[in-house]
Each structure stands twice: as structure tokens, then as C-alpha cells.
Amino acid sequence: MIDLYYAPTPNGHKITLFLEEAQLAYRQIRVDISKGDQFRPEFLTVSPNNKIPAIVDHVPADGGAPFSLFESGEILLYLAEKSGKLLSGELRERHVTLQWLFWQVGGLGPMLGQNHHFNHFAPQPVPYAIERYQVETLRLYNVLNKRLSTSPWLGGEHYSIADIACWPWVNAHLRQRIDLQNFPAVNNWFERIRLRPATARAMQKAQAN
């Protein structure tokens, strides 16, 4: 059984998408980040960076004590290795998948996060920052579109943890002032993932509680 410390945000959705897709048993523990639950001492023992998502695996493969992890990219990699799912064992596809996973956690996520912040949460408008992160958002969507114009999935021939990491951020495209019609390959990929039964189950879990 896996405990998932979760809030219904793009980084939280990554892990429910994986767990539903791989059909691993898990328990969702809501962390209300709008109320400051991420700073509670009991949560900080699991996630010292005070952010969701985090997991505790009560049955790790080494048979040892419960194992806790934070950082969504690492959690996806851990769960892929644990389950043998959603990460190719073939050398090239495996590393291309990890390359796009790292691109998501180091680029797409942080930049789109800044886009959300300056478009929706900044206490006063900062035109330079709005413009800077909008230009960067467009650049990243163009990178994604180019990749998906030549490959069905980010890692290559198979749906993987790289697609799972990116999809919840693209799912928030309207908040980023992005029209997916301008990125046809991204739009096609986005719809293919949206229509997967596991995606529907994960997004339903986000509504619950």
C-alpha cells in the first residue's frame, strides 16, 4: 500500500495519473496547501521541502521499513521501477523518456508555475514578469509540439512517465492563456491522454473529498 500526500494541482495529478494507470493500491491523504498543512511537522517528516506530492511506500521492494519520497519526478521514477510499468527497459527509449521527464521537472513545470503565479496570484500586476513567462510558455509549447510532431509519445513508441509528468500542466493550458489549436500535435497527444480511462479516474479522484 502506498500513502500519497496529495492536493489537486498539476504536480499532485502526476502521481494519481500514474497510480491509476499502473493500478497500484494507494491511499490519498489530502494536504490543504491553501491552509498551510504543508508546514505541519508530521508532513515535513515525509516532505521536508514542504510541497506535495510525497509518498510513503509501506511495502518497498527491499523488504525494509516504510520508505518516504518527495519530488514528483523521483516519485514517478520510483513507482515505474517498482511496478515495471510506464518506463521502457530498452536503453534508448528509457533515456529519452527520462530526458523528457527531467525537461518537465526542470523546465515546463517551474516556468508554467511562474506563468500561473504572475497571471493569477501576484498581489499586483507585474507586466515584465507576465510577458517573460508568457514568452517562455510559448517557447516550451513549441518544443513540445515539435517533439510530438515526430513521435507519438514523448519517450518514443510508448506512453510513459514523461507524458504523465507533462499532461497535467498542459491540462491547465487555459490558465496559461494557451490555445491548443495553435499546437496541433500537442492537442492530439493531449486528447489521447485525456480519453484514457485511468486519466478519467485520476481526475475524478481530484474532485472527491
Dihedral over Cα of 159, 164, 165, 171: its sign: positive
172 vs 185 by CB, closer to ligand GSH: 172
Q: Does 171 bind ligand GSH (CB under 6 A)?
A: no
User: Interacting stretch for ligand GSH, rule CB under 6 A, among 61-69, 71-79, 114-122, 148-156?
Assistant: 71-79
107 to 136: interface string for ligand GSH, x by CB under 6 A: --x---------------------------
Cite the beta strand spans of 51-192 per DSSP E: 54-57, 67-70
Query: Under rule CB under 6 A, how many of the chain's residues touch ligand GSH?
Result: 15
Interatomic CA distance for residues 101 and 198, integer angstroms: 20
72 vs 160 by CB, closer to ligand GSH: 72
Contact pick of 71, 82, 171, 206 for ligand GSH (by CB under 6 A): 71
For residues 78 and 19, the answer to whether their CB atoms sit within 8 Å is no
50 vs 114 by CB, closer to ligand GSH: 50
Q: Does 37 bind ligand GSH (CB under 6 A)?
A: no
9 vs 134 by CB, closer to ligand GSH: 9
34 vs 150 by CB, closer to ligand GSH: 34
User: Interacting stretch for ligand GSH, rule CB under 6 A, among 55-63, 68-76, 90-98, 132-140?
Assistant: 68-76
Q: Does 72 bind ligand GSH (CB under 6 A)?
A: yes
Q: Does 105 bind ligand GSH (CB under 6 A)?
A: yes
The region, left, alpha or beta by phi > 0 then psi within -120 to 50, assigned to residue 177 is: left
For residues 202 and 12, the answer to whether their CB atoms sit within 8 Å is no
Burial 51-77 (b: 16+ CB within 10 A, else e): bbbbbbbeebeeeeeebbbbbbbebbb
Cα Rg, the chain, nearest whole Å: 17
Q: Which residue's entry shows cell 496547501?
A: 33
User: Which three cell numbers, joined as nine digits, stand for 201?
Assistant: 479516474
Contact pick of 29, 33, 129, 143 for ligand GSH (by CB under 6 A): 33
Q: Does 9 bind ligand GSH (CB under 6 A)?
A: yes
For residues 120 and 175, the answer to whether their CB atoms sit within 8 Å is yes
Q: Which residues bind ligand GSH (CB under 6 A)?
A: 7, 9-11, 33, 38, 50-53, 71-73, 105, 109
